[in-house]
Amino acid sequence: MKFNIALLAGDGIGPEVIDQAVKVSDAVAQKFGHEITWKPALTGAAAIDAVGEPYPDSTHEVCKNADAVLFGAIGHPKYDNDPSAPVRPEQGLLKMRKALGLFANVRPTFTFPSLLDKSPLKRERIEGTDLVFLRELTGGIYFGEKGRKDNGDTAYDNCVYTRAEVQRLAKKGFELAMTRSKKLCCVDKANVLETSRLWRETVQAMEKDYPEVEVSYEFVDAVAMRLVQWPNSYDVLITENLFGDILTDEASVISGSMGLMPSASMGAEVSLFEPIHGSYPQATGLNIANPMATVLSAAMMFENFGLMEEGKAMRDAVNKALEAGVVTEDLANGGKAYGTKEVGDWLAANI
C-alpha cells in the first residue's frame, strides 16, 4: 500500500521522538512492502515562531490531504503563564481538532509487567489494568459560546451537545467494546447536567443495537474515585470532552507507564496519532526522551489502516526492547540508559 502521512513534529521533544517513529515505521513499511511518503508541516509554538499561527492553513492543507497525521507534542514554556495571551499553541490544537473533525480521542491505559513498580498504586490495584477511554473531542464546553458580560465581571462558557454528536462517539464505543470484553461504561453527570442526560438517554437508546454489550452508567465523580481504587474494573469508557480531559489524564498516571501511552484522534476523513506525554521542554535536544509512546502511536496508525500485523510488529519490538533493557533513562532504574536515537535504531533493527 501507499500512504501519505502528515508529520507534525511540534515543539520540545516532539521532533526527536517523531524521528524515531518515522524510522521504525519505515522499517515496517519496507518489511511489509508499503510505501510511506512523509509530509512535514508546522504546528504549535514552532509554527507561531515561523508564521505567527499555531495551526496555519498550509498545515491544514497537508493534514486534510493525508491518509493520517502523526503528531509529536506541542507547548512551550514561554506561553505557560499567560493563558489569555492572544496566540497560544493550544489554540492550534483546538483549531486542528475542529477543522479535521477529530471527534473521538482514543486513550488506552494499559500496563507493562516490567513497569508495574513505577505505578504510584500498589501492585495488586494496578495489575491487569487494560482500559480505553473514548473522549468526545470536538464538542461540549470547549467549543460552545464563551465570553464576558457586565464590563468583564461575568464570564460564561456554554456546554452544548447534539444527539448526533453523542451517537457518533457512542457508536465507536460500542464497536470497540465488541472487539474487547463487551463492557461499556458511559461516564456522565446526569444527576446535574442536561447535556449528561442527553448523553445517557442517547446511549440507552443504542443499547438494543448491541445486545451483547453490557452497558453501565457512572457519574464522573464516582469514576474519578474508582479509577484510583480499582482501575482494572474498567474496560471501555465513553465520555464528553471536559470529563475526558480530566479522567484520561488521571488514568494515564495510574499505570506507571505514562511515558509509553499512545493515543489516536479519529475523524470521519482523517485520523491523528500522538503520544500522550507533552513537549517536555527541559529535555529538548538532549537525546533522552522516550520515543516508545510515539512508536506505539504509529502502531495504532497502522492498525487503523487495517494493517494488524504491521502494528503488532511494532508493539513486539517495543516489548522486546523493554525486556532487553534497551530503554531511555526514565525507565532505566539506575541501569544503563540508551539515547532516544539509539532506542529508535534498536526498534527499527528489530522489526
What residues are designated binding site? 97, 107, 135, 221, 245, 249
334 binds a second copy (CB under 8 A): no
Binding part of the chain for ligand IPM, among 16-24, 27-35, 88-96, 123-131 by CB under 6 A, reads: 88-96
Given 33, 191, 212, 335, the residue binding ligand IPM (CB under 6 A): 191
Active site residue 221: yes
93 binds ligand IPM (CB under 6 A): yes
Residues 214, 218, 221: CA angle, nearest 5 degrees: 155
Active site residue 249: yes
293: left (phi over 0), alpha (psi -120 to 50) or beta: alpha
138 near 101, Cβ under 8 Å? yes
Q: In what order do the strands lie in the sheet with 262-267?
A: 35-40, 2-10, 68-73, 271-275, 262-267, 102-110, 130-136, 236-239, 183-188, 214-219
Integer Cα distance of 196 and 204 in angstroms: 12
30 binds a second copy (CB under 8 A): no
Integer Cα distance of 262 and 48 in angstroms: 26
- Name, in order, each residue with C-beta under 8 angstroms of 303's C-beta and a sequence gap of 6 or more: 310, 311
* Nearer Cβ to a second copy (153/209): 153
In the numeric block, which cell numbers belong to residue 275? Answer: 503520544
User: How many Å separate Cα 125 from the centre of its chain?
Assistant: 24
Binding part of the chain for a second copy, among 6-14, 53-61, 224-232, 313-321 by CB under 8 A, reads: 224-232
- Name, in order, each residue with C-beta under 8 angstroms of 88's C-beta and a sequence gap of 6 or more: 54, 79
Given 103, 161, 280, 346, the residue binding a second copy (CB under 8 A): 161
Which H helix or E strand runs over 289? none
Nearest to 109 by CA among 274, 265, 231: 231
Q: Which of 26, 130, 245, 316 is catalytic?
A: 245
Given 235, 245, 250, 345, the residue binding ligand IPM (CB under 6 A): 245
Q: How far is the CB of 136 from a second copy (least distance, A)?
A: 13
DSSP classification of residue 306: T
220 binds a second copy (CB under 8 A): yes
8 near 333, Cβ under 8 Å? no
Q: Which of residues 174-213 bind a second copy (CB under 8 A)?
A: 189-198, 200-201
Q: How far is the CB of 265 from ligand IPM (least distance, A)?
A: 9
225 binds a second copy (CB under 8 A): yes
Active site residue 172: no
Binding part of the chain for a second copy, among 16-24, 61-69, 108-116, 226-234 by CB under 8 A, reads: 226-234
Longest dimension (CA), the chain: 63
Given 77, 120, 128, 285, the residue binding a second copy (CB under 8 A): 120
Catalytic residues: 142, 189, 221, 245, 249
Q: Which residues bind ligand IPM (CB under 6 A)?
A: 90, 93-94, 191-192, 221, 245
Q: Which residues bind a second copy (CB under 8 A)?
A: 81, 83-84, 88, 90, 94, 120-122, 125, 141-142, 144, 146-148, 150, 152-164, 189-198, 200-201, 217, 220-222, 224-225, 227-229, 242-243, 245-247, 249-250, 252-254
